[in-house]
């Protein structure tokens, strides 16, 4: 198989991660920063699934090389990882945006550079 | 069951052509006489006051919030449901705990009035 | 019972209390809170106890049953059961699990028993919350909130117990940190339980932030240990192989970009871990939170001071003892670098807190400083290698200190009832509108100072100057209190005598016979501290119980209900008799008969294979400590016991003048911190920041060469910066390191240099560090990451 | 060969969608439009999952990210008046960030490209309807015996089985995290 | 399980007769590398065309049917001028839409405004990929089929939001916010109610779900797993919840708050005219049809004949699956129309409260009893020698009893809540116009 080399995915993930980090670093708007973080989490997920697909052990490896066993992927670790990350991303977005809303209420602003004090 | 995403890719392309064809046909057929009155914002004939990008109340956010978390719950619920009849009772216990914890959240939201639409 | 049959159930011990927590929270959420909450909590901890005791007995059985000689079978192979929590790559996982070894078995038995007593006591003590809760703002009765708060209290304490039990039973450091932080959270919630009082809210914050400073070090230590061992499991770290690895590592070479640096890794890591203990166990200089923690309800004080939180710090050092002791060549009598620090800090804290306690008037505050002092004993003992003695003292101290705190709670309870009684009699409207059933520091009064010492508030039910004559009014409280005091002060045959004596004997042995300087210093300081301990405790007994009542409150006080005296009696039995499990075998008469089972049980240090030989018995230290204890008692009687009423009216020791004021004001340490760490009085925990404090602060400011202008400037900077946990922690860390000495200063300078090295303007770099803008922090983190990666790659 | 070309083309489109969407997120002046770009990026990532044979994840990605999280983001934007966009959406550290991110992406790319990953030659993904021999079935948790054949578990069912057994702690912890997030967010967001 | 039974000529990939035919007879001139690919693409394109044709025609005549049917309910005749019985009315409407002037408000955010109208259609078409027309007549039987449907359908809210925001009109924005809030609220009960079905079927694939509903009793189509027949028999509460949630999802009366014309004109498509308005209507009708079809797949046995023993499943060589599928879908569509003709519109707070306070707890409870019963019984129905109707009857009766108990308990519970003055309650509250109410901070 391997119609697509693994490193293509890694490149895309690296790009997503860097762009997301850039957004998180430079955007003034707190919501935009959260979006950047979501992008970074997506990049991580792409990596996890790509590695699951390409390098996770197969049934042949698990059963021993001498046995006539098909090359099935054993284990769902990468997918489980991705699913849990998605759940955490949702939780993170929920709380993060709630904080943004609460801050907006007290500051009338979305701008992070103005949020340099944690006292309400 | 053979997963066939290739077909879905084709269908997606086709699906995008439908509105585009509609728009193109309409662009050929329709008249085009814009005017300043026509292009005003529709508000039953009244002048609009203020910008329409208004601020909404927090209730919307609370609904979306609860929705997101329950949506994530389904992500775990579906694989469980599909695998369930082949699993030991432990799986049922796990899911009862899982749902119980989330139900606490729902009850909390309920009691805190996050489910009230006022 | 066999440990391998009951051991796998040990995870249930913290689960029961956690379950109680969940159930009570459920009661609150569904608006069903009632007094049943207390019984749920008691049932939870009771179930834990019922499981913990057989576990302990099984451990005892395993230790003595299978072992050959002193090193029992259990000590060689502790019972460990782990579940993979976070599989990480091929080589391992972060685990969740339990570990039952002598140390944890003994500690878990102690924690559950003491907690049960405290919970039962609290069920009666907190009734005021239930019955008389008034809204803080309107002053109107608010029964629903009262019910909920009553239930919430028991939810918190249950979670607290969960934290401690989970911590003690943890099989690895990371899980321990988790439960450790659960305790931190609960201490915050409970100290600030009466959060409508600004002082309580401030004390809670202070406790939380101060312990966080220690926790940062702890976490760094865990990371470092993981780096060294590739695992955070005790089984890996403290095993024979682990210790050998440690020895092999001791001076560790780090290759950074081609340059080889010799870094003494293990002492560094040990000290980082100890940093956590310093915070949690309230060692100097992070001891400041503990006395302020008195703002919580009294059962909480008992919980924090006796059974759980502060014990956790000592327990951690005991648990990680092999790491502490392994940093140096393994020959007898040698005290390693980190242990030297531990011993010195412990002894210093012991004497510092003991002297402060002498000059306190608040009944709970005396006990609080006493706790700090006793923790100093334990830590110093660990520092000089008296491992068994330290653990022994940890256990006995938990019992009699819980007893004393609960006793003081009973006294306060009685005093409050006396106050209400007095009010009814005089038709005085005082006291309405305060938020709780308890009036610990509730009344508004004008603080006056006499000779630099705050005068007594006549309506303060905790001020010992308002007490007196309670021996007759509260007979059971009195009797148990005397037992507890005698145990604490080391009156022979009671629990504290044996445990404290063992510490002193070890220190004496190492200091005098083996000629180890630090042990000698420890011995001298601890003996002095023991004298002060005896003095201030008996002073307290005389002030509280002796003579005629000094106020109406005390005159109308009456004995508490059986639900409160019951736990007192229960605990006093332990306070009296527990010591006999650790009587030196060499003691003529009872020694050989009792056989010192405790030493045999705990003495074989978990897993590492080494064990502690009991010392040959020596009369000298035992006689000296006995004499010291009675000297303190005699001195207290001479000063306070002859005419208690007069002593209450005007303290005889106030003649010491400025020294007395200094002691009463805790060496002005809070003010020093106020200037050096933060000038924000809100995290002082001191509600009564008066003019005097300000003058003290100013004088101190001049003293250490700071001008008024500087302090004002400092105040402004801090007022802007003390705005939240992140910023504050950073600030605390930075200021603190500056204050604390050369090493830390070096670190700060290093960080600054790093920034300068990157080509950033120095001042701009400093400004960047403190803007409070998250994104700039993130950028700096990114920069540091890239720098490190670059250094490692190239 | 040609099929490979087409698959790679699809990959290219998906990668372009996700990266282009991401660029849109950080370039757009209006937050609302940023959020729309973000959705595009999510869809692209879902497409990448499909090319990786993780259909369930792709569907979940759309369901949770496009259908839920983006709604949350849009609502959060609508809850504030600051939706008009800003002439200067970036703070002052654009230059610095680019200077620092350039080596980062260089490093990430270098590792991704040069590292010798132990890629399996021909791993077959679990997919229902394929029957395997007994030896393979023994190595595959959840293989169902129907008659004489062993059926490979459906990947969704396989995931469910793994979640319920091997990773049950993570599974339960997720529920607690969600509960805490729910309670916390309600407390924070309400007045 | 029943692969060999399937005439797979709509099935994608290898084995499709159409594809084989193309490979062997038409595409012979192409190189080996390209042949299968082109064959695939051609097959898929033809399949797409077939689906589009069926769906478009159904949709056009649904509009007519709806107007006629609702007209009858309201004692009117409905369209009857264009063509016999108004049969050409849909085409007249279409021509009108195409030739109307397109007006874009001057203040609108043009690109978002236009994209909203364009993007609202594709998801509504894409969901049809997994809906089987008959035995083996499913374009792409994904193993995650049902979830695919839900997730693609949930994408529709994004263009709706774009439309509301891009119009820069208060009514439109409020309508969009309402639409999204309502859609997401009802997505949860929709998704939860079906879990019971998926649990019993053991698959997310639509094909598997239908096969699991094999005709009650024995016979050629008897399911090899679950013996309970159509899931409407064993999951009646879930069925009702699913219908309600679906109605709300596609924003049809009585759940059409987002476009309540008495309050906010036409909701999020207030500012759209001509074909763009038409596209929103198109999308909504597509979604209605697709949801009805999915409902018949999940609960009514899809293409299966309703008669015992597979009677009338085939007529000679012809499999009547498409007929049954169509009939069941039509039945559900008529149900939706009936609701529209008879029910008043709900109020926002009632609507939201209903989803979260009634439907979600109910579907969670349903899920639990289904799991419990399924776990208790599945060993028996897999292993027992009892075959045929008896076995099915036991299972159906058990599930029906559990459902009845659940319903009883739910009524008791909600009754108590209401008696306590808790929720759900009915209060009068004027929704008022526009930003004064909803725009309040």
Single out the residue in D78, D97, D124 at which a domain terminates: D124
Q: How many CB atoms lie within 10 A of CB B1?
A: 23
Distance CA E208, CA E212 (A): 6
Distance CA C368, CA C207 (A): 13
B111 touches chain C (CB under 8 A): yes
Please give the angle made by the CA atoms of E10, E11 and E16, to the nearest 5 degrees: 85
- pLDDT at position B38 is 67
C779 touches chain D (CB under 8 A): yes
Q: What is the pLDDT of residues C294-331, one digit of tens each?
A: 888 888 888 887 778 888 889 998 888 888 876 554 44
Q: How many CB atoms lie within 10 A of CB C465?
A: 20
Average pLDDT of span C18-43: 86
E177 touches chain B (CB under 8 A): yes
- pLDDT at position C708 is 43
Ramachandran class of C445: left when φ > 0, alpha when ψ lies in -120 to 50, beta otherwise: beta
Tell me the C-alpha to C-alpha distance, in Å, between residue C590 and each of C580, C585, E228: 9, 8, 78
Interface of A with B (CB under 8 A): 83, 86-87, 90-91, 93-94, 97-98, 101
C–E touching, 3+ CB–CB pairs within 8 Å? no
3-state secondary structure C597-653: HHHHHHCECCCCCCECCCCCCCHHHHHHHHHHHHHHHHHHHHHHHCCHHHHHHCCHH
Backbone angles phi, psi at C34, to 5 degrees: -155, -170
B55 touches chain E (CB under 8 A): yes
Q: What is the pLDDT of residues C199-225, one digit of tens each?
A: 888 888 888 888 888 888 898 888 888
Q: In this structure, what token pair is assigned to residue C684?
A: 């002082």
Question: Which of C300-304, C532-536, D97-101, E168-172 is predicted least confidently?
Answer: E168-172
Single out the residue in D124, D155, D176 at which a domain terminates: D124
How far from chain centre, in Å, is Cα C309?
Answer: 5
Helical segments of C67-101, H only: 73-76
Distance CA C786, CA C792 (A): 10
- pLDDT at position E54 is 85
- Residue C703 near residue C696 (C-beta atoms within 8 A): no
Tell me the C-alpha to C-alpha distance, in Å, between residue D42 and each of A22, A35, D14, E177, E227: 17, 11, 10, 22, 41
* Residue D120 shares a structural domain with residue D132: no
Q: What is the pLDDT of residues A30-54, one digit of tens each?
A: 888 889 999 999 999 999 888 888 8
- For C705, residues 6+ apart whose C-beta sits below 8 A from its C-beta are none
Q: How many CB atoms lie within 10 A of CB D178?
A: 25
Q: What is the pLDDT of residues C491-504, one digit of tens each?
A: 888 888 888 888 88
Under DSSP, the state recorded for E313 is S
Indicate the residue of C84, C779, C790 with minimum beta-carbon distance to D97. C779
Q: Which residue of B has its CA nearest to D61?
A: B75
* Residue D110 shares a structural domain with residue D147: no
Q: What is the CA radius of gyration of chain E?
A: 24
**C704: exposed, middle or buried (Cβ count in 10 Å: 0-12, 13-18, 19+):** exposed
Backbone angles phi, psi at C604, to 5 degrees: -80, 110
* Residue D171 shares a structural domain with residue D84: no
Distance CA E36, CA E22 (A): 9
Q: What are the residue ranges spanned by the domains of chain B?
A: 58-112
B110 touches chain E (CB under 8 A): yes
User: H-helix or E-strand containing C95?
Assistant: strand C92-100
Residue D88 has pLDDT above 80, yes or no: no
D16 touches chain A (CB under 8 A): no
C-alpha torsion angle, residues D57, D59, D63, D69 (rounded to 10): 40
Helix pair angle (A77-107, A30-55), 10° resolution: 180
ipTM of the complex: 0.73
C793 touches chain D (CB under 8 A): yes
Could you write out the DSSP letters of every residue in C404-425? HHHHHHHHHHHHHHHHHHHHHH
**E311: exposed, middle or buried (Cβ count in 10 Å: 0-12, 13-18, 19+):** exposed
Beta partners for residue C134, in sequence order = C141
Tell me which of B42 and E219 has the higher pLDDT: B42
Q: What is the pLDDT of residues C615-642, one digit of tens each?
A: 777 788 888 889 999 999 999 888 888 8
- pLDDT at position E242 is 92
DSSP helix/strand/coil, C83: strand
Distance (Å) from the alpha carbon of C85 to chain D's nearest alpha carbon: 6
* Residue D191 shares a structural domain with residue D159: yes
Which of B33-47, C357-371, C453-467, C583-597 has the highest average model confidence (pLDDT)? C357-371
* Residue D86 shares a structural domain with residue D158: no
DSSP helix/strand/coil, C729: helix
Q: Which subunits count as partners of chain D given 3+ CB pairs below 8 Å? A: A, B, C, E
Cα-Cα end-to-end distance for chain C: 59
Sign (positive/negative) of CA torsion E189, E190, E194, E195?
A: negative
Q: Which subunits count as partners of chain C given 3+ CB pairs below 8 Å? A: A, B, D
* Residue D120 shares a structural domain with residue D134: no
- pLDDT at position C735 is 58
* Residue D116 shares a structural domain with residue D183: no
Residue A60 has pLDDT above 70, yes or no: no
Distance CA E306, CA E276 (A): 41
Q: What is the largest CA-CA distance in chain C?
A: 84
Tell me the C-alpha to C-alpha distance, in Å, between residue E299 and each of D72, D108, D120, E62: 32, 50, 42, 22
* Residue D168 shares a structural domain with residue D75: no
User: H-helix or E-strand containing C98?
Assistant: strand C92-100
Q: Which of E69, E53, E287 is nearest to E157 (CA)?
A: E287
Single out the residue in D124, D144, D164 at which a domain terminates: D124
Q: Which residue spans within E246-329 are E strands per DSSP?
A: 314-315, 318-319
The CATH number for D33's domain is 1.20.120.1200
Distance CA C187, CA E275 (A): 65
* Residue D184 shares a structural domain with residue D103: no
Indicate the residue of C85, C775, C793 with minimum beta-carbon distance to D91. C775
- Catalogue the long-range contacts made by C357-360 (C-beta closer than 8 Å, 24 or more residues apart): C357/C532, C357/C533, C357/C536, C358/C532, C358/C535, C358/C536, C358/C539, C358/C653, C358/C663, C359/C453, C359/C653, C359/C660, C359/C663, C359/C664, C360/C536, C360/C664
Tell me which of B113 and C453 has the higher pLDDT: B113
Q: Which residue of A has its CA nearest to D175?
A: A87
Distance CA E194, CA E145 (A): 13
Say yes or no for a CB contact (<8 Å) between C83 and D103. Answer: no
- Residue E55 near residue E131 (C-beta atoms within 8 A): no
B108 touches chain C (CB under 8 A): yes
Q: Is the pTM of this model over 0.95?
A: no
* Residue D102 shares a structural domain with residue D135: no
Question: Which of D20, D22, D156 should one mutate to test binding to chain A, selecting the residue with the greatest count of A CBs within 10 A?
Answer: D22
Q: What is the pLDDT of residues C183-195, one digit of tens each?
A: 989 989 988 888 7
How far from chain centre, in Å, is Cα E313?
Answer: 24
- pLDDT at position E14 is 57
- pLDDT at position C710 is 42
Could you write out the DSSP letters of every residue in C253-278? EEEETTEEEEEEHHHHHHHHHHHHHH
- pLDDT at position E11 is 53
Distance (Å) from the alpha carbon of B5 to chain D's nearest alpha carbon: 8
Which of C197-206, C679-688, C739-748 has the highest average model confidence (pLDDT)? C197-206
Beta partners for residue C611, in sequence order = C604
| Count: domains in chain D | 2
Residue C724 has pLDDT above 70, yes or no: no
- pLDDT at position C66 is 43
Average pLDDT of span C429-440: 40
Q: In this structure, what token pair is assigned to residue C232?
A: 């955070």
Spans of chain E below 70 pLDDT: 1-17, 33, 135-138, 215-225, 257-266, 308-310, 382-388, 417-441
Indicate the residue of A24, A77, A113 with minimum beta-carbon distance to C778. A24
- Residue C413 near residue C564 (C-beta atoms within 8 A): yes
* Residue D37 shares a structural domain with residue D72: yes
- For B19, residues 6+ apart whose C-beta sits below 8 A from its C-beta are E117, E118, E119, E120, E121, E122, E279
Write out the residue range of the structural domain in which residue D148 sits.
126-191
Give percent of chain B above pLDDT 90. 0
* Residue D100 shares a structural domain with residue D131: no
- pLDDT at position C164 is 92
């Amino acid at each position: 198989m391997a119609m697509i080399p693994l490193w293509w995915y890694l490149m895309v993930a690296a790009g997503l991660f860097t762009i997301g980090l850039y957004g998180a670093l430079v955007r003034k708007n707190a919501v935009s920063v959260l979006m950047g973080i979501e992008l970074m989490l997506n990049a991580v997920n792409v990596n996890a699934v790509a590695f699951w697909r390409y390098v996770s052990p197969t049934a042949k490896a698990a059963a021993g090389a001498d046995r006539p066993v098909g090359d099935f992927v054993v284990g769902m670790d990468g997918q489980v990882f991705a699913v849990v990350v998605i759940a955490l991303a949702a939780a993170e977005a929920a709380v993060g945006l709630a904080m943004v809303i609460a801050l907006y209420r007290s500051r009338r602003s979305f701008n992070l550079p103005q949020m340099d004090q944690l006292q309400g | 069951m053979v997963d066939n995403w290739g077909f879905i890719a084709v269908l997606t392309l086709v699906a995008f052509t439908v509105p585009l064809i509609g728009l193109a046909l309409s662009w050929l057929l329709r008249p085009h006489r814009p005017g300043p009155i026509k292009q005003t914002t529709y508000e039953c004939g009244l002048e609009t006051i203020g910008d329409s990008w208004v601020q909404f109340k927090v209730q919307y956010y609370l609904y979306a919030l609860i929705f997101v978390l329950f949506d994530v719950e389904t992500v775990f619920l579906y694989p469980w449901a599909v695998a369930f009849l082949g699993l030991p009772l432990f799986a049922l216990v796990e899911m009862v705990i899982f749902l119980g914890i989330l139900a606490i959240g729902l009850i909390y939201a309920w009691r805190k009035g996050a489910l009230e639409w006022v | 019972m066999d440990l391998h049959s009951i051991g796998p159930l040990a995870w249930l011990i913290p689960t029961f209390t956690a379950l109680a927590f969940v159930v009570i929270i459920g009661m609150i959420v569904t608006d069903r809170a009632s007094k049943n909450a207390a019984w749920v909590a008691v049932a939870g901890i009771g179930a834990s106890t019922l499981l913990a005791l057989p576990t302990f007995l099984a451990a005892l059985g395993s230790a003595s049953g299978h072992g050959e000689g002193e090193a029992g079978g259990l000590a060689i192979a502790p019972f460990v059961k782990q579940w993979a929590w976070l599989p990480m790559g091929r080589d391992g996982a972060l685990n969740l699990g339990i570990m039952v070894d002598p140390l944890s078995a003994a500690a878990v038995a102690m924690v559950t028993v003491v907690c049960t007593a405290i919970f039962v006591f609290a069920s009666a003590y907190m009734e005021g919350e239930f019955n008389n809760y008034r809204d803080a703002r309107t002053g109107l009765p608010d029964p629903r909130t009262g019910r909920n708060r009553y239930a919430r209290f028991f939810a918190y304490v249950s979670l607290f117990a969960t934290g401690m039990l989970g911590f003690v039973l943890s099989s690895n450091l990371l899980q321990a940190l988790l439960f450790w932080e659960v305790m931190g959270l609960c201490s915050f919630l409970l100290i600030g339980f009466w959060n409508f009082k600004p002082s309580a809210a401030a004390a809670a914050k202070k406790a939380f932030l101060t312990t966080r400073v220690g926790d940062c070090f702890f976490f760094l230590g865990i990371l470092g240990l993981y780096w060294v061992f590739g695992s955070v499991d005790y089984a890996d770290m403290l095993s024979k192989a682990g210790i050998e690895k440690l020895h092999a590592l001791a001076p560790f070479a780090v290759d950074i970009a081609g340059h080889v640096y010799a870094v003494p890794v293990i002492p560094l890591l040990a000290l980082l871990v100890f940093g956590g203990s310093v915070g949690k166990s309230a060692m100097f200089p992070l001891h400041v939170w503990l006395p302020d923690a008195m703002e919580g309800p009294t059962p909480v004080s008992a919980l924090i001071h006796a059974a759980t939180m502060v014990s956790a710090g000592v327990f951690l050092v005991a648990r990680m003892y092999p790491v502490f002791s392994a940093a140096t060549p393994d020959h007898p009598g040698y005290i390693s670098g980190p242990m030297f620090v531990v011993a010195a800090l412990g002894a210093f804290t012991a004497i510092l807190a003991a002297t402060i306690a002498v000059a306190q008037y608040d009944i709970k505050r005396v006990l609080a400083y006493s706790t700090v002092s006793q923790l100093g004993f334990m830590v110093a003992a660990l520092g000089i290698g008296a491992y068994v003695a330290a653990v022994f003292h940890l256990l006995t101290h938990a019992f009699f200190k819980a007893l004393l705190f609960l006793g003081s709670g009973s006294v306060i309870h009685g005093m409050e009832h006396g106050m209400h009684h007095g009010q009814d009699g005089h038709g005085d409207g005082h006291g309405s509108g305060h938020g709780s059933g308890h009036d610990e520091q509730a009344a508004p009064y004008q603080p006056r100072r006499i000779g630099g010492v705050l005068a007594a508030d006549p309506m303060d039910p905790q001020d010992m100057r308002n007490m007196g004559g309670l021996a007759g009014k509260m007979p059971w409280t009195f009797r148990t209190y005397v037992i507890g005091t005698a145990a604490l002060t080391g009156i022979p045959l009671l629990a504290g005598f044996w445990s404290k004596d063992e510490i002193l004997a070890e220190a004496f042995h190492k200091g005098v016979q083996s000629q180890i300087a630090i042990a000698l210093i420890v011995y001298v300081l601890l003996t002095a501290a023991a004298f002060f301990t005896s003095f201030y405790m008996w002073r307290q007994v005389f002030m509280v119980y002796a003579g005629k009542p000094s106020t109406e409150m005390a005159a109308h006080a009456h004995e508490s209900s059986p639900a409160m005296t019951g736990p007192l009696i229960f605990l006093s039995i332990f306070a009296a008799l527990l010591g006999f499990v650790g009587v030196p075998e060499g003691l003529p008469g009872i020694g050989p008969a009792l056989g010192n089972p405790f030493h045999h049980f705990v003495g074989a240090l978990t897993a590492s294979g080494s064990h502690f030989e009991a010392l040959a018995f020596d009369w000298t230290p035992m006689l000296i400590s006995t004499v010291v204890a009675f000297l303190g008692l005699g001195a207290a009687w001479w000063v306070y016991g002859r005419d208690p009423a007069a002593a209450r009216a005007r303290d005889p020791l106030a003649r010491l003048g400025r020294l007395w004021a200094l002691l009463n004001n805790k060496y002005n340490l809070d003010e020093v911190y106020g200037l050096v760490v933060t000038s924000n009085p809100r995290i002082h925990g001191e509600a009564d920041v008066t003019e005097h404090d300000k003058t003290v602060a100013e004088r101190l400011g001049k003293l250490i060469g700071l001008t008024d202008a500087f302090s004002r400037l400092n105040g402004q900077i801090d007022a802007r910066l003390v705005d939240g946990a992140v910023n504050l922690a950073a600030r605390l860390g930075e200021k603190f390191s500056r204050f604390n000495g050369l090493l830390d200063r070096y670190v700060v300078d290093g960080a600054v240099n790093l920034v300068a090295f990157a080509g950033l303007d120095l001042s701009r770099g400093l400004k960047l560090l403190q803007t409070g803008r998250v994104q700039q922090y993130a950028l700096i983190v990114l920069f540091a990451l890239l720098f490190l990666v670059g250094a490692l790659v190239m | 060969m040609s099929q490979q070309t087409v698959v790679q083309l699809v990959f290219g489109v998906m990668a372009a969608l996700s990266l282009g969407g991401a660029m849109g997120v950080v370039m757009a002046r209006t937050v609302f439009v940023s959020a729309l770009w973000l959705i595009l990026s999510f869809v692209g990532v879902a497409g990448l999952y499909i090319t990786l044979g993780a259909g369930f994840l792709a569907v979940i990605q759309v369901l949770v990210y496009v259908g839920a999280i983006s709604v949350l983001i849009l609502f959060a934007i609508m809850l504030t008046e600051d939706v008009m966009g800003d002439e200067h959406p970036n703070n002052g550290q654009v230059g610095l960030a680019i200077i620092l991110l350039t080596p980062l992406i260089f490093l990430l790319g270098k590792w991704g490209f040069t590292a010798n990953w132990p890629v399996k030659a021909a791993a077959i993904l679990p997919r229902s309807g394929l029957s395997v021999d007994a030896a393979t079935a023994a190595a595959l948790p959840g293989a169902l015996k129907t008659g004489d054949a062993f059926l490979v578990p459906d990947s969704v069912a396989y995931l469910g089985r793994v979640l319920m057994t091997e990773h049950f702690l993570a599974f339960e912890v997720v529920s607690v995290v969600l509960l805490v997030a729910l309670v916390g967010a309600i407390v924070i967001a309400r007045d | 399980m029943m692969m060999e039974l399937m005439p797979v000529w709509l099935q994608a990939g290898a084995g499709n007769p159409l594809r084989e035919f193309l490979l062997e007879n038409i595409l012979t001139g192409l190189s080996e590398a390209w042949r299968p690919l082109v064959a695939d693409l051609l097959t898929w394109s033809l399949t797409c065309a077939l689906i589009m044709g069926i769906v478009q025609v159904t949709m056009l005549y649904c509009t007519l049917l709806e107007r006629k049917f609702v007209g009858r309910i309201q004692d009117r005749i409905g369209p009857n001028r264009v063509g016999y019985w108004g049969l050409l009315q849909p085409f007249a409407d279409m021509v009108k839409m195409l030739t109307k002037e397109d007006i874009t408000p001057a203040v609108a955010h043009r690109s978002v405004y236009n994209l909203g109208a364009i993007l609202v259609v594709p998801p509504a078409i894409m969901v049809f990929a997994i809906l089987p027309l008959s035995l083996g007549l499913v374009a792409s039987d994904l193993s995650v089929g049902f979830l695919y449907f839900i997730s693609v359908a949930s994408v529709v809210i994004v263009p709706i939001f774009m439309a509301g925001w891009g119009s820069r009109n208060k009514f439109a924005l409020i309508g969009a916010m309402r639409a999204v809030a309502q859609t997401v609220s009802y997505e949860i009960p929709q998704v939860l109610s079906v879990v019971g079905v998926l649990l019993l079927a053991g698959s997310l694939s639509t094909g598997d779900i239908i096969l699991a509903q094999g005709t009650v009793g024995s016979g050629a189509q008897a399911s090899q797993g679950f013996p309970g027949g159509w899931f409407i028999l064993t999951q009646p509460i879930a069925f009702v919840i699913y219908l309600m949630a679906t109605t709300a999802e596609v924003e049809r009366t009585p759940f059409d708050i987002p476009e309540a014309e008495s309050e906010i004109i036409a909701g999020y498509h207030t500012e759209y005219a001509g074909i763009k308005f038409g596209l929103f209507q198109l999308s909504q009708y597509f979604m209605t049809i697709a949801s009805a079809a999915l409902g018949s797949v999940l609960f009514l046995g899809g293409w299966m004949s309703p008669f015992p023993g597979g009677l009338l499943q085939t007529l000679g060589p012809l499999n009547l699956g498409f007929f049954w599928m169509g009939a069941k879908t039509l039945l559900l569509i008529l149900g939706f129309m009936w609701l529209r003709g008879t029910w008043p519109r709900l109020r926002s707070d009632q609507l939201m409260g209903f989803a979260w306070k009634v439907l979600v707890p109910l579907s969670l409870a349903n899920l639990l009893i289904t799991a419990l019963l399924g776990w208790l019984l599945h060993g028996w129905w897999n292993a027992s020698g009892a075959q045929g109707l008896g076995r099915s009857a036991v299972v159906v009766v058990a599930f029906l009893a559990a459902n009845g108990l659940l319903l009883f308990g739910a009524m008791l519970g909600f009754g108590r809540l209401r008696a306590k003055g808790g929720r759900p309650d009915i209060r009068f509250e004027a929704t008022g116009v526009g930003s004064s109410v909803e725009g309040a901070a």
